[in-house]
A = this chain, B = another copy of it.
Amino acid sequence: MQRSLSELNGCSRDDFVASLANIFECSPWIAEQAAAARPFAGVKPLLAAMKDTVDRAPAEQRMTLIKAHPDLANKTQRAAGLTAESTSEQNSLGLDRLSDAEFEAFERVNNAYRAKFGFPYIVCVRRHTKDSVLRDFERRLPNDVATETQTSINEICRIAALRLDQFVVSDDRLAVHGRLSTHVLDTHSGKPAVGISVVLTELSDLGEARVIARAVTNSDGRTDQPLIGGRPVPIGRYELMFSVGEYFAGRGVPMSDPPFLDQIPLRFSVSDPEGHLHVPLLVTPWSYGTYRGS
């Protein structure tokens, strides 16, 4: 369920607080302070006000906020019930369907982190793949408590921004979405390649590759929708597979048998979840190229 900004500006204080209680996990006190600052001209100032409340809170309260978060992929906690927001976020990463090996990897992360710092490892999972979460953990584990306290707050604010973006309908938009797109140019005929089957797969060192999107290029050589859009593009490794053999065969282009090029894989990584990443393919039956476009 979504609420419009004007509704949130106009409703009762209690309604406002109830609506935004979980924007910061189980921490309605942040919404409470924001309530007093209404009306907001947009969702951006609303988020700014809530972040500001967090920044100005005493250290103990900030730590309480941190500790209000569940562990990643903790079966006991999941059985006991997470907030709807946390459940949805963890599922987006596939934490609800981990293999045993993956589950062990996450459990190891959580335990090691909690043992060292005394609070759960928090990361904005919508910006990540399973592999990048584990890499992030490995980087953060050597840090000191002060650094990790601040990093946790930063991640919590990222989580809050995405929750707010999903919940509040406003004329302005938070800059929390990225986009992954492609474009196939047939440089044999000098035209956009129409009808090419494209499959986007998330690769993983840890577990199995997972198909994220399937599409067919349209009359402009593009896909009707971005391969990933309207959300962060998770940090991670990907493969785009283009069925070019079928395409050129269907156009009657002379080829070798078997065709020199048939299924063309492009492998690349995403490092900026909020960025616009364009990965085009320029292709003939005998050559191809790609580049990081924008």
Residues of A within 8 A of B (CB): 132, 135, 185, 187-192, 220-221, 235-237, 254, 256-265, 267-269, 271-272, 282, 284-294
> CA A237 – CA B282 in complex, angstroms?
21
Given A190-B260, A267-B265, verify A289-B287 contact (CB < 8 Å).
yes
Q: 6 tightest CB-CB pairs across the interface, nearest first?
A: A190-B286, A289-B289, A287-B291, A256-B271, A187-B287, A258-B269
B221 touches A294 (CB 8 A): yes
Query: A190 — which chain B residues lie within 8 A by C-beta?
Result: 256, 260, 284-287, 291-292
A269 contacts which of B235, B259, B265, B269 (Cβ < 8 Å)? Answer: B259
> CA A123 – CA B187 in complex, angstroms?
32
Query: A272 — which chain B residues lie within 8 A by C-beta?
Result: 256
Closest to A253 in B: B188
B268 touches A260 (CB 8 A): yes
> CA A46 – CA B289 in complex, angstroms?
47
> CA A269 – CA B294 in complex, angstroms?
27
In whole Å, how far is A217's beta carbon from the nearest beta carbon of chain B? 12
B286 touches A258 (CB 8 A): no
In whole Å, how far is A26's beta carbon from the nearest beta carbon of chain B? 32
> CA A262 – CA B256 in complex, angstroms?
27
> CA A289 – CA B280 in complex, angstroms?
12
A191 touches B294 (CB 8 A): yes
Query: A285 — which chain B residues lie within 8 A by C-beta?
Result: 190
> CA A286 – CA B190 in complex, angstroms?
5
In whole Å, how far is A62's beta carbon from the nearest beta carbon of chain B? 28
B271 touches A258 (CB 8 A): yes
> CA A288 – CA B260 in complex, angstroms?
18
> CA A292 – CA B190 in complex, angstroms?
6
